[in-house]
Amino acid sequence: MSLNKLNLLYRAVVLDHAQHPHHKGEISQVTQKVTLHNPSCGDDIQVFICVAQNQISEISFEGQGCTISQASASMMTDVLQGNSVSQALSQCEAFFALTMGKAIAENQKEALGDAAVLGSLAEFPMRIKCATLAWHAAKMALEGTLK
């Protein structure tokens, strides 16, 4: 029996983000916040953003979850922080495509930073929801700013 395949999903960078998440906790100025629920495990994730002049000045998340959901949320905040709303929205779409095993352009992949390693999720389809939950919350929050 071997757990080699697990290393594919749980890369060092994933475990590192999960254990020491970046931008965790509510930020002081929030323009939008969205809570999403993972019905399969019951975990909630909350994403907070502060948008000024179409720019994400701050983003953070809160909530307990599995290694994948925590790492993905942490990576996401790194990726989206400082970006324009439209740029961030297209990054969310690129992430969804990547985790579903679809090919995305090299520059899009690069723009996903650490989160690009979660492309290995395509091999673990049952866990895609864990990874995309925070990104869906961010997308909803960002769309909220456009209204």
Partner 1 sequence: MTIKRETLRKDFPILDRKVNEEPLLYLDNAATLQTPNQVLKKITEFYQKSHANVHRGVYTLAQEATQAYEQVREQVAAFIHAANAHEIVYTRSTTESLNLVASSFGELVVQEGDEILLTIMEHHSNLIPWQQLAKRKKAILKYVPLTVDQTLDVHAFKQQLTEKTKIVALAQTSNVLGVTNPVKKLVELAHQQHAYVVVDAAQTVAHHALDVQDLNVDFLAFSGHKMGAPTGIGVLYGKSELLKAMPPIQFGGEMIENVTKTTATWQPAPWKFEAGTPNIGGVIGLGAAIDYLNHLEMSWIAATEKKLMMHLLPELQKIEGLTIYGPQTVERHEGIVTFNLAHIHPHDVATGLDMLGVEVRAGHHCAQPLMAALGVESTVRASLSFYNSIAEMDRFVYALKMVKEFFNHESE
CB nearer partner 1, residue 12 or residue 103: 12
Report the C-alpha gap between 2 and 5 in whole angstroms: 8
Max Cα–Cα distance, the chain, nearest Å = 54
Report the C-alpha gap between 103 and 101 in whole angstroms: 7
| Three-class SS state of 61 | strand
At closest approach, how far in Å is the CB of 43 from partner 1?
6
| CA 29 to the chain's CA centroid | 20
At closest approach, how far in Å is the CB of 24 from partner 1?
16
In this chain, which of 64, 86, 100, 125 binds partner 1, going by CB under 8 A?
64
Our finding on whether 19 is near partner 1 (CB under 8 A) is: yes
Report the C-alpha gap between 74 and 19 in whole angstroms: 10
In this chain, which of 17, 23, 33, 127 binds partner 1, going by CB under 8 A?
127
Our finding on whether 119 is near partner 1 (CB under 8 A) is: no
Which residues contribute to the site for partner 1 (CB under 8 A)? 1-3, 5-6, 9-10, 12, 15, 19, 40-43, 64-68, 124, 126-127, 130
